[in-house]
Amino acid sequence: VSDPTAIYLDHNATAPLLPEVLDVMARALAQAWANPSSIHGPGRKARSAVETARAQVAGLIGGDADEIVFTSGGTESNHLAIRGLARSGQRPRRPGLLSSPLEHPSVLGALQSLTEEGFAQRWLEVEASGRLAVQDLEARLGSDTGLVSLALVNHELGNLYPIADLARRARAAGALVHCDAVQALGRLPLDVAALGVDALSMSAHKIGGPKGVGAVWVKRGIEPASQLTGGHQEHERRAGTENVPGIVGFGEACKLAGRGLADRIERIARLRDRLEEKLLAIPGSRLHGDAAGRAPGVSNVGFSGAPGQLVTIGLDLEGVAVATGAACSSGTVAPSPVLLALGLAPDEAREAVRFSLGPGNDEQQIDRAAALVEAVVARVRAAA
């Protein structure tokens, strides 16, 4: 964010590129330009840069480097994990898929593509807060369920799900478990062994890395069916010459994300609570999501009688960047499917504004943003 007066509160859409990441990427572009599959010296230099990054990504989630498959981002990671696990052929073919209607569109798209191939989709029930009932998972897990896919943190609400518990039950029923951790990476401590999942999706740009690069952690012994075939890269799990500078930037972002994580979480949670208290003091405001079980940086608030899109535009004119629902659905006036799944009426869902904080925010920004929200909401209501 180059304008010093601008206040960026849209970290769930993307995080600003970290200066250290820019540095290592510039160096990689200039110096690690060769094809990492080449056996000559320049190729080996590029390979070494990729492998250093692989260890850095694995290190942030408690995995091993050889369990990391680099991809073009969270969307591809979700497709590789979901389609790849469902079609891996390592288990007796089980056609049942179990997920929640609150998942990111990239998860829903991958699941949809499988149902078109004959897989059968089941959905978990969602409470008004967006909580998922553990008992409901048990009720819906059938002997035909082959794959359960659930996010660790919801992209619109910030809700945090008890994946370790859900995964244990799903695996006991013989299903493989995929977790979309794109909104959790670098924002919460992650340990793949403790989560007990089979595959976990990540994306670099949510943590200050570049766009267009991500990874899937795949538990050793699990072989997802490759979705991009041809070349032998990534141990036959994902064909295509590696995005070396992107991967190097992702590795650096993971290294930095692991430093001081506990302090950062506490600071961001305090700022979010400070913001939320002020927002909820505005008459006619209400919180969406699970106040008792959320990731630290997110607050999704609706202001009755003030369409979220107009509030977002009004705030943008004041230099405050926020979002209405998922970034990929902005530009459309369709209400957020996540909020509709919570049982909100379409007009109520259209009033929601998502505030998502990051390490660059401070108290001064939060107080100024809250005051501007109050003024903009009043203006939008008066004009309506």
Ligand X SMILES: Cc1ncc(COP(=O)(O)O)c(C=O)c1O
- Site residues (CB under 6 A) for ligand X? 73-75, 78, 104, 106, 151, 155, 180, 182-183, 203, 205, 214
Active-site residue flag, 254? no
Least distance to ligand X from the beta carbon of 181, Å? 8
One-letter identity of residue 357: L
- Closest distance between ligand X and the C-beta of residue 151, in Å? 5
Q: 157 or 344: whose CB is closer to ligand X?
A: 157
Q: List the structure tokens of 257.
A: 């994300």
* C-alpha span between 157 and 140 (Å, rounded): 24
Environment class of 134 (CB within 10 Å of its CB; exposed 0-12, middle 13-18, buried 19+): middle
- Tokens representing 118 are 């004959």
d(CA 122, CA 231): 35
If phi over 0 gives left and psi between -120 and 50 gives alpha, with beta otherwise, what is residue 197? beta
Of 74 and 358, CB closest to ligand X: 74
Nearer to ligand X, 123 or 372 (CB): 123
Asked if residue 132 lies in contact with residue 126, where contact means CB atoms within 8 angstroms, the answer is yes
CB 276 within 8 A of CB 294: no
Name the token pair of 33.
Answer: 């330009």
CB of 228 to ligand X, least distance (A): 15
Q: How far is the CB of 189 from ligand X (least distance, A)?
A: 18
Q: Tell the smallest beta-carbon distance from residue 376 to ligand X (Å).
A: 25
- Report in angstroms the alpha-carbon separations of 21 from 3, 4, 27: 20, 20, 10
> Nearer Cβ to ligand X, position 94 or 104?
104
Q: For residues 67 and 109, what is the distance between their CA atoms, to the nearest angstrom? A: 25
The residue (of 308 and 314) whose beta carbon lies closer to ligand X is 308
* Residue in 26, 172, 281, 328 annotated catalytic: 328
* Residue carrying the six token digits 């459309």: 332
User: Going by DSSP bridges, is the β-strand pair 120-123/298-303 parallel, antiparallel, or unpaired?
Assistant: unpaired
Which residue of this chain has its Cβ atom nearest to ligand X in the complex?
74
Residue 75 vs 299, nearer CB to ligand X: 75
- CA separation for the pair 149, 114 (Å, rounded): 13
User: What letter does residue 281 receive in the DSSP assignment?
Assistant: T
Compute the least distance from the CB of residue 243 to ligand X, in Å: 12
**Catalytic machinery residues:** 328
